[in-house]
């Protein structure tokens, strides 16, 4: 048998979701992950990242992430008072409007229907589920 493999990265500490300090640091870590790479000057935000933060798909967008960016940037602004995040929330909302999602629209799904996962025009797989709440 060969030698044991030594991990490149140290084991991550077990998350303590009941700790305010842990949650605040996690928020900072998440914001620091997105801040240098997320903003797309052409509109909206990039949706596909590698673990190191590199964007691996600069063109495809999907509704769930697009709406999540609006919420995340508003929350970031409320917690940090950094006006960059308020600007980003408006930028994200503008992108939703370009997707023809308007205030008052109802976005839903049909239970037990199929959902396709497509990247750059190629259907990667199809899922049948009743647990998806937004398309």
pLDDT digits (tens, 9 = 90+) for 74-103: 999 998 999 999 999 999 988 888 877 666
Query: Which of 18-22, 43-47, 122-126 is the least confident region?
Result: 122-126
Strand duo 113-119 + 55-57: pairing: unpaired
> Which residues are 114's β-sheet partners?
128
State the pTM of this model. 0.65
**Contact call for residues 134 and 67 (beta carbons, < 8 A):** yes
Closest to 133 in 3D by CA, of 105, 110, 102, 100: 110
81: left (phi over 0), alpha (psi -120 to 50) or beta: left
39 DSSP assignment: B
* Cα separation, 81 vs 88, whole angstroms: 13
């Amino acid at each position: 048998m060969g030698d044991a493999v030594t991990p490149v990265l140290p084991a991550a500490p077990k998350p303590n979701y009941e700790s305010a300090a842990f949650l605040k640091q996690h928020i900072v870590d998440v914001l620091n992950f997105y801040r240098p790479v997320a903003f797309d000057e052409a509109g909206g935000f990039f949706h596909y990242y590698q673990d190191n933060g590199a964007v691996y798909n600069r063109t495809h967008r999907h509704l769930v992430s697009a709406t999540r960016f609006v919420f995340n940037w508003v929350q970031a602004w409320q917690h940090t008072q950094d006006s960059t995040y308020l600007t980003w929330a408006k930028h994200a909302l503008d992108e939703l409007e370009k997707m023809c999602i308007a205030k008052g629209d109802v976005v839903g799904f049909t239970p037990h229907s199929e959902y396709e996962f497509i990247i750059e025009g190629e259907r990667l797989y199809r899922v049948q589920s009743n647990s998806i709440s937004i398309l």
